[in-house]
Amino acid sequence: MGNLSGKVAIVTGAGRGIGNCIALKLASQGAAVVVNDLDSGPAAETARAIERMGGRSVPVPGSVTDEGFAETFVGTAVDTFGGLDIIVNNAGYTWDSVIQKMTDEQWDAVLDVHLKAPFQILRAAQPVISQLVKSAKADRIAVPCRKVVNISSVAGLGGNPGQANYAAAKAGVTGLTKTMAKEWGRYNVTVNTVAFGLIRTRLTDTAADGDGSIDVAGRTIKVGVNPDLLAVMEQSIPLGRSGSPEEAAGAVYLLCTPESDYVSGQTLVCAGGFNI
């Protein structure tokens, strides 16, 4: 039993890093979790980890930008667990370049994964949530408070050189959040954003050879931060260090708990006191 006992959650990008920790945290508090990742292996492993801890989970691998993904993702929650209570739009990656060197492909890819995909998932969820609310009212039972947490970044609040695409997408997430908080308040749904600062994941950790990369839809994209730059970045954080994925997941969890039922349309900055 936990704060989220009986709840059904869907989490994108949950095979690794922050998303993995979010899925495990929600499951540890009793939620059944539909786990997405671009790759089937990590998605399945997160689902198995949840089951090993006594929870319920099902993986839905695939790109959040694929046509029809949103409907499949939302539908899996309803078909497998009978409802939908928590939506966490977490999936994403960076593909950096200064603006004069940034291609349309770079711009579109990052906007699609960080902004268009959350929009499509929320659009697909609306009929489900609306019907669940109508059913509760017809049965004369209290409409539960449902939760949406969209993941952003301090780059979307203050900008970041070399990340025009990423910063624009994450700034858009703030606008999406504020709008959905107003649209879905009538359904007793809170919609909030968590904006992360420097969190140590494979997207920020430097590879052993100093040249890490990931594969996204056949594209090889460089990731990692130069260790000297990383040290400088950490010095600008009042807590004096980067955050862990578990700490990042904790911030998301706060906005999924019953204690946050009257908090909506807000952005929680999880950045160790970093002043944007």
> What are the boundaries of each domain within the chain?
8-198+244-270
Rounded distance between C-alpha atoms, residue 5 and residue 59, angstroms: 20
pLDDT band at residue 224, thresholds of 50, 70 and 90?
low
For residues 41-49, average pLDDT: 98
Residues 152-168: tens digit of each pLDDT: 999 999 999 999 999 99
Q: Which residues are catalytic?
A: 166
For residues 190-197, average pLDDT: 98
70, 74, 80, 84: CA torsion to nearest 10: 160
Q: Which of 91, 136, 98, 96 is nearest to 112 (CA)?
A: 91
CA distances from 272 to 41, 57, 204 (A): 32, 31, 16
Place of tokens 């990008």: 13
Q: Which of 29, 30, 27, 57 is nearest to 45 (CA)?
A: 57
For residues 118-142, average pLDDT: 98
pLDDT band at residue 110, thresholds of 50, 70 and 90?
very high
For residues 172-192, average pLDDT: 98
Long-range contacts made by residues 232-237, C-beta under 8 angstroms, separation at least 24?
Answer: 233/198, 234/198, 236/274, 237/197, 237/198, 237/271, 237/272, 237/273, 237/274
Percent of the chain with pLDDT over 90: 86
CATH 3.40.640.10 fits 8-198+244-270, yes or no: no
Helix (H), strand (E) counts: the chain: 9, 9
pLDDT at residue 209, rounded to an integer: 47
Residues 78-100: tens digit of each pLDDT: 999 999 999 999 999 999 999 99
